[in-house]
Structure 1
Amino acid sequence: MIGEMDVDSVVEYFRGKSILIAGSTVFLAKVLVEKILRVQPDVKKLFLLIRASDVESAKLRIQNEVIGREIFQVLKEEHGVGFHNFVEEKICPLVGDITHEDFGLDTAKLREVSKDIDIIVNVAATTKFSERYDVAFDVNVLGVKHVCAFAKKCIKLKMLLHV
């Protein structure tokens, strides 16, 4: 059993950290995003890697598929009218795809983001047994390869967690 001291040190560890989450629209990632924002509001940034055509589409997906979900109700009540400002300050949509090298980010964005990230959490995967082989391979194999290659470019990286 994890003691209270251990939990406190984990919560404290996230203070001031920038975290990249790949697969942020899957259930486990939503739980992680909500938990981090609730227990450590002093996290610096949560970069959510989102497949979208542009930043506005990515923001819409985050609104509809992540923060718009019932799991965020406690945070909404806690922050009241300041909820959207809090979320906008903490969550940074990153338009990209793990099936592409460097997530398909342009050089300037890659350079900017790779300087800031302390932690990468990869929960992106396809778990459908009936998935086409090429799709499953791209996400579950090449995606992991791309996450690892991206991690090597993150100069402040302290942790890579692959689920």
Structure 2
Amino acid sequence: MVMVDGSLDAEKIAGYFKGKSILITGATGFLGKILVEKILRVQPDVRRIYLLVRAMDAHSAKQRVEAEVTDTELFCLLKEKHGKGGFELFVEEKVVPLAGDVVFENMGLDAPRLEELANEVDIIVNGAATTNFYERI
């Protein structure tokens, strides 16, 4: 991290994400959706943001990302900036929902998708957590 006068240089941090692809787990959680919105708002030149979400298939993953992430009030600034149709196109271009789960081997993803991620992803942010509050600590 770059420090300027004791504080983070936000411009350099935002610039770091330009042209990069990011895999985020836990994107439907409180911090995850804030991270997704912040990246899209301050660095719209991010290449792709892959969001691993618990879902049965690609269609369900897309629906979950829309309902729990991009269709939330948190994204109102981006919606205002792009307009409704423009926002939907922007998200479709940048955000790639992935049906999977970190508890499974290879996150529950098939070999071709894993290879795609290995070739594409520059940054991984693991924010996944269990929603079972009876699990062992």
Tell me, in whole angstroms, the C-alpha distance in 2 between the residues paired with 1:63 and 1:30: 11
Displacement, 1:127? 7.0
Q: Which amino acid in the other structure matches residue 124 of structure 1?
A: A
Which of the numbers 29, 53, 58 marks the counterpart of 2:56?
53
In the alignment, is residue 116 of structure 1 matched against residue 117 of structure 2?
A: no
Aligned to 1:150: none
Deviation >3 Å, runs of 4+: none
Larger RCO (CA under 8 A, 6+ residues apart): 2
Displacement, 1:94? 1.1
Aligned to 2:35: 32
- 1:1-163 to structure 2, matched below 5 A, reads 1-2=6-7, 6-80=9-83, 81-126=85-130, 131-133=133-135
Q: Identical aligned pairs, as a percentage?
A: 53
Tell me, in whole angstroms, the C-alpha distance in 2 between the residues paired with 1:36 and 1:44: 11
Question: For structure 1, which runs of at least 5 residues remain unmatched after alignment?
Answer: 138-163
Question: For structure 2, which runs of at least 5 residues remain unmatched after alignment?
Answer: 1-5
TM-score with structure 1 setting the length: 0.76
Displacement, 1:125? 1.2
Report the secondary structure of 1:113's partner residue.
Answer: helix
Q: Which amino acid in the other structure matches residue 115 of structure 1?
A: N
Q: Which amino acid in the other structure matches residue 11 of structure 1?
A: A
Report the secondary structure of 2:96's partner residue.
Answer: strand
TM-score with structure 2 setting the length: 0.90
Q: Deviations over 1:70-102 (max 9, x none)?
A: 000000000013100000000001111000111
Tell me, in whole angstroms, the C-alpha distance in 1 between the residues paired with 2:33 and 2:7: 23
Greater fraction of residues in helix: 1
Q: Deviations over 1:84-138 (max 9, x none)?
A: 000000000111100011101111111111111100001111377xx222xx57x
Q: Which amino acid in the other structure matches residue 74 of structure 1?
A: L
Q: Which amino acid in the other structure matches residue 7 of structure 2?
A: I
